[in-house]
Structure 1
Amino acid sequence: MSSANILTLALTVTFVSVIPHSSAFWLFNVVFPPNATQPLFRSNDTPPLIIVPGNLGNRMEAKIDKPTLVHWMCYKKTQDWFPLWIDLNMFMPIGVDCWIDNIKLVYNSSTRRSTNSPGVEVRVPGFGQTHSIEHLDTHRLAGYFHTMVQHLVNMGYARNETVRGAPYDWRLAPNENEEYLSKLKGLVEEMYDQYQRPVLLLGHSMGCHYVLYFLNQQPQAWKDKFIKGFISLGAPWGGAIKTLRVMASGENDGIPMISNQKIREEQRMVTSNPWMLPFVDVWPKDHVFISTPNASYTNQDYQQFFSDLDFEDGWNMWEDTKNLTSALQAPGVEVWCMYGVGLLTPVSYIYDDKYPDSDPVEYVYDDGDNTVDTLSMSQCKRWIGQQEKPVHVTEFRGMPHLDMVFHHKVLALMQQILEGNSDTPEEIDCRNDNVQKSSHRDS
């Protein structure tokens, strides 16, 4: 084993040992994900499928030739592309500074566009393939969609043929990702032509908003011809309250090697975070998302929120993105909307006088999937009766946000849909499953 592999393995073992089981950090909760079920049958009579991952949900690579460095130990120039997301070495003490400087965006308030850091090129590998969304690192340690894709293969799907991934630069909101949306449309049409069957789209978390935005841009006649339907998993349809904390004080999601305030520098520089702020038309105007000794912030106070953070670009980013999907225009295709409920989920963050350079000291909780609240995720119900195509809603009681992509009950329901059985139950109880899983992890 090479020294690089030894270091990566050592880092992974360290992460697994120090991150608490209750951590919400979705990436490392899926290191060594559960295996897919064994093949039950093989069928060539299922719709081709495209998977659109969530935020942070696919690999990215970089090549650099930088004019300046944030630290003398950082690389200034590389000849080849190297992993930008995710490379476990970035969690080393100096590595995180180098990584933030490489991955952060530079927002131009005049052009209202974002660019990479000076001297940095970024690309998304594997469009149309699944490897970039199955594992987020080249060592295949951080799994994401691997269990789902393997389950599909066991059903009779073929990687990079009948099931394909559509990774993207998740730092950007769709108004700055026009090339990706064009490629996604081309991929749909290519698969339709190849298999002579309409294509099913599947999204997780923020990826569902990308799918919704994409579908809203297409004529109904195009959707009627090319799209079989849309499966959404854990979508924050009304926005995500957590993004307010991310931009205010940062959120390292339980990784002790990186401070919240350190990671905040990168988190403020992506336009997809302001896009996902709680939507004004969904949340009550008097709901306080962030409370400090000096101010309280509702969805009526976003401009003041960014002003108090001395983060004017954040306000501009929100202005640029607030109308992209906030109207929740019905997608115009058959929808299967699935999400977790029954878990305590923060809906308000309370800070002391050290705000914003400290963590919340208290939380107000409501129902959700431990990451996104039920009010937001259940907004897909509004499409029932708004479109001719059916809308099916299934709530998984006790289902955490990330588990949607590999839990066996979700995969079983997906299999039912792919086999042509459209009707789905309104609720599926997963509480005993999670107790057993927790006991197994703790043993």
Structure 2
Amino acid sequence: MDLLRLVAVAVLLALPTRGRCSGGDGGDDMHPIVLVPGYGSNRLDARLTATYEPAAPLCGAREGEGWFELWPNHAATRDPSQAPCLAEQMSLVYDAVADDYRNAAGVVTRVPSFASTRALIGWDPLVRQLEAMGYRDGESLFAAPYDFRYAVAPHGHPSAEGARYFGRLARLIEWASRRNEGRPAVVVAHSYGCALTYQFLLARPLAWRRRFVKHAVFLAAALGGFAEGMNMLSSGAGSGLPNVARPARARLARSQQSALWRLPTPMVFGDRPVVVTKNSTYSANNIVEFLDAIGFTEGVSPYVTRVLPMWQALPPPMVPVTSMYGVGVMTPETFVYGEDGFEGTPEVVYGDGDGDMNMVSLVATEKEWSGVEGQILKVVRLPGVCHTGFFSDDLALKKVVAEIQEVAVSIELHQKRENLVLSE
């Protein structure tokens, strides 16, 4: 028996350790990783065609010049004269007849560097950590950027851009698996990317999920929307365009399909007061009245038909999930408008969350999925970590890397060790 134990120890020492690669495609014990960014965290290119009719001559200066970087556009955020052009070219149009969203006339867009981490904005610290573990861009580490102005739609409603992205994401995950000896992928998503990933998983057959997705790591997944989403639609706050007048910011926010996905959902928020005016109180249960009150009546139909059906319930995705989020950060919870109504600046009442996402939404997954047979869920709360802190806070970054390492690297190693013990 002692000799058998010595042999088992020797074999264990010879096995690959965490973070060590045995080959260029990530090593024998590593699952491929696919990163899904949050809103505004990847690049968008655009080109202007002859059908583009700019509101001001300056905005048409690039017509016929080919592709240029539409987002991020640092010049537009610094130069007030260029900011309205960016807002105009970033806006979408909801075609009520076609029941779908599209670019403004004459604006053509694309998402560059699909599959590569070079497409991501702000993810460099995490990417470097994963590369230090042995992951390689395009071999065992991939990214799935998308046009974050869009979303997807429920069955029976067209969503050309959303369907195109889901198709590309499925093919990327399948390719990542084939590229790495058939190992299923670990999908790591942040913020709005979590909502898209979640709906993507629900849309794929269960057999496909179990074959190609080893684990999903959700960073700041608020699958019930958030209170700030209502303020964004009323005022255009959070557009990233400080040099654009408030009405133009609001028009930009309201044009984007993804803006309606930010709204707090009735299932998660219920009748909690989110927006309060002199004469009315608005919660997730009366969003339609809120949209009418802010003058966004054209948003009512797509909200009721294309958004609400997708978030009436939160069925478990039936793949293992790790949910990581920050807590203990002052987060906007209620917006109280005074005598000036929606034209004024609201007083903000704060509650718990990660600074952007409210606690009631961050905990929605554990409330709905805990105890569901067949659904593996691990929750990691990070006190004091803000919404984007996963990429800037050293401690949070280490925690994220440790969780990814646990599910992407060490699972097969643990299985090997268990088999050795059993055989002994």
TM-score, normalising length: structure 2:
0.84
Identify which of structures 1 and 2 has the higher relative contact order when contacts are C-alpha pairs closer than 8 Å and 6+ apart: 2
Deviation at 1:257, TM superposition (A): 3.2
CA–CA distance in structure 2, aligned partners of residues 47 and 127 of structure 1: 20
Contact persistence 1:261–1:358 (CA under 8 A): no
Classify 1:221/1:421 alpha carbon distance in 2 versus 1 (closer, same or farther; 3 Å): closer
| Equivalent position of 1:337 in the other structure | 323
Deviation at 1:253, TM superposition (A): 6.8
Larger Rg: 2
How does 1:353-364 map onto structure 2 within 5 Å? 353-360=339-346, 362-364=347-349
Deviation at 1:252, TM superposition (A): 4.1
CA–CA distance in structure 2, aligned partners of residues 393 and 368 of structure 1: 15
CA–CA distance in structure 2, aligned partners of residues 180 and 421 of structure 1: 25
Q: Give the unaligned 5+ runs of structure 2.
A: 1-17, 22-26, 154-158, 409-424
| SS of residue matched to 2:310 | coil
Contact persistence 2:390–2:400 (CA under 8 A): no
Contact persistence 2:139–2:179 (CA under 8 A): no
CA–CA distance in structure 2, aligned partners of residues 345 and 217 of structure 1: 32
1:61 paired with 2:61, answer no
1:293 paired with 2:281, answer no
| SS of residue matched to 1:343 | coil
1:266 paired with 2:252, answer yes
Give 1:206's aligned amino acid. Y
CA–CA distance in structure 2, aligned partners of residues 68 and 420 of structure 1: 53
Q: 4+ runs of 1 displaced by more than 6 Å?
A: none
Deviation at 1:166, TM superposition (A): 0.2
Q: Counting helix residues as a fraction of each chain, which structure ranks higher? A: 2
| Equivalent position of 2:150 in the other structure | 172
| Equivalent position of 2:128 in the other structure | 150
CA–CA distance in structure 1, aligned partners of residues 241 and 58 of structure 2: 23
More displaced 10-residue stretch of structure 1: 81-90 or 297-306? 297-306
Q: Deviations over 1:179-216 (max 9, x none)?
A: 11011011111111110211000110010011100100
CA–CA distance in structure 1, aligned partners of residues 253 and 44 of structure 2: 16
CA–CA distance in structure 2, aligned partners of residues 99 and 254 of structure 1: 11
Deviation at 1:47, TM superposition (A): 1.3
CA–CA distance in structure 1, aligned partners of residues 292 and 218 of structure 2: 35
Of the three residues 106, 120, 131, the one matched with 2:118 is 131
Of the three residues 55, 63, 68, the one matched with 1:70 is 55
| SS of residue matched to 2:119 | helix
| SS of residue matched to 1:322 | helix
Of the three residues 205, 213, 219, the one matched with 2:199 is 213
More displaced 10-residue stretch of structure 1: 316-325 or 150-159? 316-325
| SS of residue matched to 1:208 | helix
| Equivalent position of 1:104 in the other structure | 91
CA–CA distance in structure 1, aligned partners of residues 37 and 48 of structure 2: 26
Deviation at 1:420, TM superposition (A): 3.4
CA–CA distance in structure 1, aligned partners of residues 52 and 404 of structure 2: 51
How does 1:32-431 map onto structure 2 within 5 Å? 41-43=19-21, 44=27, 45-65=29-49, 66-76=51-61, 77-91=63-77, 92-133=79-120, 135=121, 144-175=122-153, 176=159, 177-195=162-180, 196-252=182-238, 256-285=242-271, 287-319=272-304, 320-360=306-346, 362-381=347-366, 382-420=368-406
CA–CA distance in structure 2, aligned partners of residues 68 and 188 of structure 1: 39
**What is the total number of aligned residue pairs between the two structures?**
372
Q: Report the RMSD for the aligned CA atoms in angstroms.
A: 1.8
| SS of residue matched to 2:303 | helix
Q: Deviations over 1:326-371 (max 9, x none)?
A: 41111111100000000111110011232322321x1111111111
Deviation at 1:421, TM superposition (A): 6.0
| Equivalent position of 2:420 in the other structure | none
Report percent identity of matched pairs: 28
Q: Deviations over 1:240-262 (max 9, x none)?
A: 11110000112047865344443
CA–CA distance in structure 1, aligned partners of residues 343 and 387 of structure 2: 27
| SS of residue matched to 2:269 | coil
TM-score, normalising length: structure 1:
0.80
Contact persistence 2:220–2:325 (CA under 8 A): yes
